[in-house]
Amino acid sequence: MDSSVKKAKILIVDDVKLNLDLMSSVLGQVPGYTTVCVQDGKSAIKKAKSNYFDLILLDIMMPEMDGFEVCHILKSYPTTKDIPIIFLTALSDPKNIQRAFQEGAVDYVSKPFSKEELIARINLHIQLKRTNEELVKAKKAAEAAAEAKAIFLANMSHEIRTPMNGIIGMVDILKRTPLSDEQKEYLQIIESSGENLLTIINDILDYSKIEAGRIELEKIPLDLKLEVNNVIKILQIQADRKGLPIKLNIEDNVPQYFIGDPVRIKQILINLINNAIKFTEEGEIRVHIENHGIKENKAELLFKVTDTGIGIPEEGKKRLFQSFSQVDKSTTRKFGGTGLGLAISKNLSEMMGGEIGVESETGVGSTFWFTLKLELTDKETYKESRKNDNVSKLKEKVKMKLNILLAEDNPINQKVAVVNLNNMGHKVDIAKNGKEAVEKFSRNEYDLIFMDIQMPEMDGIEATKKIREIEKERSVSRKIPIIAMTANTMEGDRENYLQSGMNDYVSKPFKQNELIAIFSKYAFA
């Protein structure tokens, strides 16, 4: 063995002293091995629990406690369960060998043993143990790195979304003021640029969530035809700038109502249609949906997005659907983008039981396709789920004016929220941190609290817990709704907010319609 490697410590258990002396002598001649010997099972268990061993050589036939029982006990303790055990046995009955492995042994050596065989088997299992230990260390290091990356991305998300909240929030407010045509045009450019930047941020965060396994798909009723048509309407505005019609064909046998995640389905479609628009200068874009059969109340749907654009060479196809990858560097320079859209789409389609692919010819165009397996539902279930989702109905419902506590440390975000809330007729009291929010809540009457998460002195989660404690002490009959107002969008954040006592959350940047939905859900229930 390599002298630079730490010595392997071996426990030898045998009731016959002659056997112990023989094995100890044999192993003592092997560089890198050190041995400890005991003559009974109880001593073996005691030694193993109080010392570190790389391997145990364990005789089966011993008085009071045989090797099977010793092995069983050692495998039940957390500190000894991972020590490899090689049985030493003169028993040739296959049932004994079978039981040895059932109790957790990794190997056995027959008595009388061959010196070479004994050393070879010990070498093998010590090397396997050390390899496994290295793999465990590597896994823990990788998990720690992934966690650090997730924390970094969450913090980066917060830092980027905070100023974006100010930009998009103020644009939303300005749009509702009297403007000249020239001002409207400038404002539209600001809004479009802000939305594009937000798309890039979301791509990066979505990919990091997928990579960390932190995306969970929603399961809600959806109208597929409505969702797809809405995507086409939005993207047709972009396609009109290049004179490209987007033609939609949904085959008659495609059901209309499903249970699934409409946001993620639309995300794949938007990615593919956006790419088609980006890489097509003339011609048209066609979206086709067909049903590939229904099994166990699930339909397998095929979506195709066909363009008449530049096409993709064979070599370029190999790099598609990989993260941070486009066909070549000139593509990135000319058309922009993060190169994450197709990688995200691939992962999302696979999460929904499908796959994704492309057929393309350079200079002729491309057809990107993906499949999904979606659970079927009916019109009645869908309609029932949509009762409270219509914004115009919510506006009618939200007539009462509220006294709102806004806990937010950022002056720009304060301004955006206050203007939005004041325009809706609500009175707003500002707390600059969580501690101030708790103090104001304890002294005043509020109908609802918007609580930022990251604040100095006391964060939003701790402030929420303290508010819930105050309510408990006062034995209030109706707890105040607390809505997290956050730039954090990593998977698991919502669960943390709810566990702390919050009722819901709105992501920054938010718009007035989201506030209306929150009021309808919590303030007027």
* Number of structural domains found in the chain: 4
Q: What is the DSSP code string of 362-394? A: TTTEEEEEEEEEEEE--HHHHHHHTTTT-HHHH
37 C-beta neighbours (distance < 10 Å), count: 19
Task: Determine the pLDDT at residue 154.
Answer: 66
Rounded to 5 degrees, what are φ and ψ at 477? -80, -30
Considering the domain architecture, whether residues 366 and 243 belong to the same structural domain is answered as yes
Helix (H, G, I), strand (E, B) or coil at 438: helix
Considering the domain architecture, whether residues 320 and 374 belong to the same structural domain is answered as yes
Q: Is 245 domain-assigned?
A: yes
Considering the domain architecture, whether residues 231 and 350 belong to the same structural domain is answered as yes
Spatial separation of the C-alpha atoms in residues 318 and 479, rounded to whole Å = 56
pLDDT along the chain (525 residues), means of 10: 68 91 89 91 93 92 90 92 89 79 89 87 90 90 78 71 79 87 86 75 74 78 93 88 95 95 91 92 96 94 95 81 56 51 90 94 93 95 73 51 91 86 89 95 93 90 94 90 77 73 81 77 63
Quote the tokens at residue 369. 């396709």
Q: Is 130 domain-assigned?
A: no
Q: Which of 188, 211, 234 represents a domain boundary (last residue)? A: 211
Q: Is 129 domain-assigned?
A: no
Q: Which of 361, 385, 409 represents a domain boundary (last residue)? A: 385
Spatial separation of the C-alpha atoms in residues 90 and 374, rounded to whole Å = 60
Q: Is 122 domain-assigned?
A: no
Considering the domain architecture, whether residues 245 and 374 belong to the same structural domain is answered as yes
Strands annotated E in 53-209: 55-59, 85-89, 107-110
Considering the domain architecture, whether residues 332 and 237 belong to the same structural domain is answered as yes
Spatial separation of the C-alpha atoms in residues 10 and 14, rounded to whole Å = 13
For residue 196, give the CATH number of its domain: 1.10.287.130
Q: Which residues constitute the domain of residue 164?
A: 147-211
Task: Determine the pLDDT at residue 1.
Answer: 47
Considering the domain architecture, whether residues 372 and 469 belong to the same structural domain is answered as no
Q: Is 134 domain-assigned?
A: no
Quote the tokens at residue 193. 């640029």
Task: Determine the pLDDT at residue 323.
Answer: 60
Task: Determine the pLDDT at residue 467.
Answer: 95
Task: Determine the pLDDT at residue 461.
Answer: 92
Considering the domain architecture, whether residues 87 and 28 belong to the same structural domain is answered as yes
Task: Determine the pLDDT at residue 524.
Answer: 54
- Convert 129-159 to b/e letters by CB count within 10 Å (16 or more is b): beeeeeeeeeeeeeeeeeeeebeebbeebbe
Angle at 108 between CA 102 and CA 109, to 5 degrees: 160
Quote the tokens at residue 34. 């050190």
Q: Is 265 domain-assigned?
A: yes
Q: Which residues contact 92 (CB under 8 A, 6 or more apart)?
A: 110
Q: What is the DSSP code string of 274-302? A: HHHHHT-SSS-EEEEEEEEEEETTEEEEE
Spatial separation of the C-alpha atoms in residues 374 and 372, rounded to whole Å = 6
Task: Determine the pLDDT at residue 69.
Answer: 93
Closest CA relative to residue 426, chosen from 311, 333, 516: 516
497 C-beta neighbours (distance < 10 Å), count: 23
Spatial separation of the C-alpha atoms in residues 495 and 490, rounded to whole Å = 11
For residue 240, give the CATH number of its domain: 3.30.565.10
Quote the tokens at residue 41. 């099972």
Considering the domain architecture, whether residues 285 and 333 belong to the same structural domain is answered as yes
Identity of the amino acid at 465? K
Q: Say if residues 406 and 431 touch (Cβ distance below 8 Å).
A: yes
Spatial separation of the C-alpha atoms in residues 448 and 479, rounded to whole Å = 10
Q: Is 140 domain-assigned?
A: no
Q: Give the max Cα distance, the chain.
A: 103
Task: Determine the pLDDT at residue 391.
Answer: 45
Q: Which of 157, 182, 211 represents a domain boundary (last residue)? A: 211
Q: Is 136 domain-assigned?
A: no
Considering the domain architecture, whether residues 227 and 372 belong to the same structural domain is answered as yes
Q: What is the pTM of this model?
A: 0.56
Considering the domain architecture, whether residues 251 and 278 belong to the same structural domain is answered as yes
Considering the domain architecture, whether residues 372 and 225 belong to the same structural domain is answered as yes
For residue 475, give the CATH number of its domain: 3.40.50.2300
- Residues in a beta bridge with 407: 431, 451
Spatial separation of the C-alpha atoms in residues 497 and 518, rounded to whole Å = 16
Strands of 403-407's sheet in order across: 427-431, 403-407, 448-452, 482-486, 504-507
Considering the domain architecture, whether residues 380 and 294 belong to the same structural domain is answered as yes
Task: Determine the pLDDT at residue 392.
Answer: 46
Spatial separation of the C-alpha atoms in residues 222 and 394, rounded to whole Å = 20
